[in-house]
Structure 1
Amino acid sequence: MGALSHIRVLDLSRVLAGPWCAQNLADLGADVIKVERPGAGDDTRHWGPPFAKDANGQETAESAYFICINRNKRSITIDISKPEGQEIIRKLAAESDVVIENYKVGDLAKYGLDYESLKKVKPDVVYCSITGFGQTGPYANRPGYDFIIQGMGGFMSVTGEAHDFEGASPQKSGVAIADIFTGMYASSAILAAIIHRDHTGEGQYIDMSLLDTQIAVMANISSAYLTTGEVPKRWGNASPIIVPYQTFPTSDGWIIVAAGNDGQFRQFVTVGGEAHLADNPLYVNNPLRVQHRKQLVSLLEQMTRKKTKGQWIALLEEANVPCGPINDFKEVFENEQVIARNIELNVPHPTVGNMKLVASPMKLSKTPTEVRMAPPTLGQHTEEILHDRLNLDDKAIHELRDKGII
């Protein structure tokens, strides 16, 4: 039994931030009901290719995007634009602990499904709204997309090739970090609100913003600006305050070297056959190496190109110099550490057969996470939920289906 096996979550969210939050709660044992549009479902069901293939190698309707954020959930299809659909949501909310939604500001109020409406049927509900810019401020009504938030929140101003590199330009992250981090913060906020409810009996409203989150996770970068008033710059794969602390080319690929002190720098250049660099007056300590970064890095790149990636990793690990390869995803999932940690999972799925998933990284000794269910097919659990949660009989469910409510 997971730590949250006593918690019921009604997930009205779509795409990434909300579903990521709900999946975290589900991995910890919560019973999560995912509400989707009849016939269409979550937008991400159609975001592909790639789509998962069945045992015969035939492509299914299960997109890789949807798969990664919807395990351990049950899917019900409900048309919330119709009064009968809204009533089903209210009844499900009445016996849920948590409601998660990521509609535009004010949209759910039109259907009587906003916080003020649902707390009338469930006074202690924890209600979490996730939007691009939050519920207040001049941008509140704007749609928020991760890519735009990465730009507005400063991330792209410090990501990409160094500012003085010819042809350099800002770059977004390879994964939707604003969405994912907002989902992570939202799940933490929900857990805090549940603890508060358990102590006081009070529910509460949680207002999560992608822009707020993006600025917050800039961490030392945001702090550096607030501390000094100096606008941070792009440094590519290098550190602005430590040298050498960046990627280096080898004869057959790239490695990362993170020499955080003078001793590690000496070991780095010694195993590379250039020990004299550690005694050069221009490079004897980190402030000097930062000052003379350009000429030193050029010399180090000449040195690292003389050996293969594998040779460098072996030499540096033996010398206790922090280092690592830059793996593609084939190399990631073939890595012995990744295999030992059971990161890749195989679970049964009704259309795919054997579905591969990435395990939750949360490893609890007493209440471990587990994959109880593969990501659901569209509406897979509609009848089950209506029977078990709302005590509807087959006739009532058939009538709802005939009317297009479910």
Structure 2
Amino acid sequence: MQDQAQSNAKPAGALAGLRVVDLTQMLAGPFCTQILADHGADVIKVEAMTGDGTRVTGPFCADDTLKDFGGYFQSVNRNKRSIALDLKTSTGREILHRLIDKADIVVENFRAGVMDRLGFAYETLRQTNPRLIYGTVRGFGDPRSGESPYAQWPAYDVVSQAMGGMMGITGPDRCTPTKIGPGVGDTIPALMLCIGILAAVNRVRETGQGQFVDVAMTDAVLAMCERIVYQNSYTGEVAAPEGNRHPLLCPFGLFRARDGHVSIACATDAFWEKLAVAIGRADMATDPDFATNAARVQRQQQVIEAIEAFTSVRTKEEIATALGGKVPFGPVYTSAEIFEDRHYAVREMLVDVEQPGSTKPVKIAGVPIKLSDTPGAVRRRAPMLGEHTDEILGGIGYADDLIQALKEQHVVA
């Protein structure tokens, strides 16, 4: 593999040497390939001539006159290189074939059958690149792994959250299912796909043979909601929204503070004893009606009232002083409070990157997986549309004059 073009001298990540052809757009696919890029893989983002649809989504900086991309695109496409191809042309498809033949991994999130119709079925590509790992993330999976009756349904985050069971156990009461705030119906499947791809990478090193990696968004969400499966199987219970409580543990949830809310999670009786003492209710630590988790679950409202008698008259900072380090505890943060907390600074989780078209840098979320010897990193901002077309095509043997001719023919940009 060719050396990756990088903007600074940060150490190469653990996946350096892997080349990924990224045909994804929106959130699930790009989030997966960004994780690979964060850890050193050379990710070539292949876009339509008009670019990934999230480029125009925003938000944009107030002084950004270029508007090549906004916050959405910047947040999930860092560390990648971009080439724009017209896959409606035979020449554009030929270029893509050459890119894939030199790649270790291809990832796409089109509807089932789209790539097959373009001539890029996994079975076709593996004939010339038997080591190829072909990763897909779709709403209801690929028919190769089991054809869902919904295989042709389009899907976004809210669809997989709904059908995967997540919304059905989230909400203020049993009658009000609620969407989870972040796009976990996309990002959870993205993480699952990343794990699958890396498992396949390990297998290639052992056997020399690639394989097809398929993740359905709904399947991934259901896997994360595993509790609803065993509850139904063991007891016949159909789980429902429980607000900020837990059906099996108490106290375990959110509690009112004077300036917001805090989370407290006492999954053991030992933690409950420490909490009871800290809130001035040592009597509840030894009272048989509250001393065990099973007893507390039966008397959840009384437990909540006792805790909120303490928390509701104190600020989040005051509660942190009283409980922090003693029991599992955390204040419910706004994004502004996250920006102010030193934890996220020392963990490099708020990273400054250049925003083309703006005079000042912007912040995006950093790399959460910390490796001691081959750390992942935000090495460069998200790419402008076609920013790396020349170097990518040059890397697979296209001469400068031919690249210019392809641009004039609007095959590449």
What band does the TM-score fall into relative to the shorter chain? over 0.9
Structure 2 match to 1:98: 105
- 1:281-330, Cα deviation, whole Å (9 max, x unpaired): 43232211111112332343233223222221111126x12211011011
Residue among 7, 11, 17 paired with 1:6: 17
| Residue 243 in structure 1 maps to residue 253 in structure 2 | no
TM-score if structure 1 supplies the norm length? Answer: 0.92
* Aligned equivalent of 1:382, options 380, 389, 394: 389
Choose which of 313, 323, 328 in structure 2 pairs with 1:322: 328
- Identify the residue that residue 288 of structure 1 maps to in structure 2: 295
Please state if 1:269 is matched with 2:280: no
Gaps of 5+ in 1: none
For residues 218 and 154 of structure 2, the distance between their equivalents in structure 1, rounded to whole angstroms, comes to 11
| Shift in Å, 1:226 | 2.8
**CA shift for structure 1 position 118:** 1.5
1:272-351 matches, cutoff 5 A: 272-317=279-324, 320-351=326-357
SS at match of 1:277: helix
Q: 2:76 aligns with which of 69, 78, 92?
A: 69
Matched, 1:159 2:170: yes
Q: Which residue of 1 aligns with 2:53?
A: 43
Alpha carbon RMSD of aligned pairs, Å? 1.9
- Alpha-carbon distance, 1:279 to partner: 4.4
Please name the residue that 2:31 is paired with.
20
Consecutive unaligned residues of structure 2, counting only runs of 5 or more, are: 1-11
1:93-148 Cα offsets, whole Å, 9 max, x none, are 11111111111111111211121222222122111121110122211111122101
Kept in 2, the 8 Å contact 1:216–1:222? The answer is: no
**Deviation per CA, 1:71-100, whole angstroms, max 9, x where unpaired?**
110000001121111111001111111111
Structure 1 residue aligned with 2:219: 212
3-state SS, counterpart of residue 76 of structure 2: coil
Residue number in structure 2 paired with 1:401? 407
Q: Distance in 2 between matches of 1:53 and 1:61?
A: 14
Is this contact kept in 2: 1:51–1:61, CA < 8 A? no
Q: Which residue of 2 aligns with 1:368?
A: 375
- Match of 1:338, as an amino acid? Y
Q: Contact conserved, 2:228 with 2:238, CA < 8 A, in 1?
A: no
2:65/2:357 contact within 8 Å kept: no
C-alpha contact 1:90 1:121 (8 A) present in aligned 2: no
Q: Distance in 1 between matches of 2:328 and 2:136?
A: 41
For the residues of structure 2 that align with 1:92 and 1:248, how far apart are their CA atoms? 54
Q: TM-score, normalised by structure 2?
A: 0.91
SS of the residue corresponding to residue 62 of structure 1 reads coil
**What residue identity is the alignment partner of 1:142?**
W
CA distance in 2, matches of 1:41, 1:358: 23
**For the structure 1 residues 53 and 113, does the alpha-carbon distance in structure 2 shift closer, same or farther, using more than 3 Å as the test?**
farther
| Aligned with 2:206 (options 168, 183, 199) | 199
Counterpart of 1:174 in structure 2 is 181
Report how many residues are paired.
396
Task: Give 3-state SS (helix, strand or coil) of 2:386's partner.
Answer: coil
Q: Distance in 2 between matches of 1:403 and 1:58?
A: 28
TM-aligned CA deviation for residue 266 of structure 1: 3.4
Contact 2:136 2:214 (8 Å CA) reproduced = yes
Contact kept, 8 Å, 1:251 with 1:306, in 2: the verdict is yes
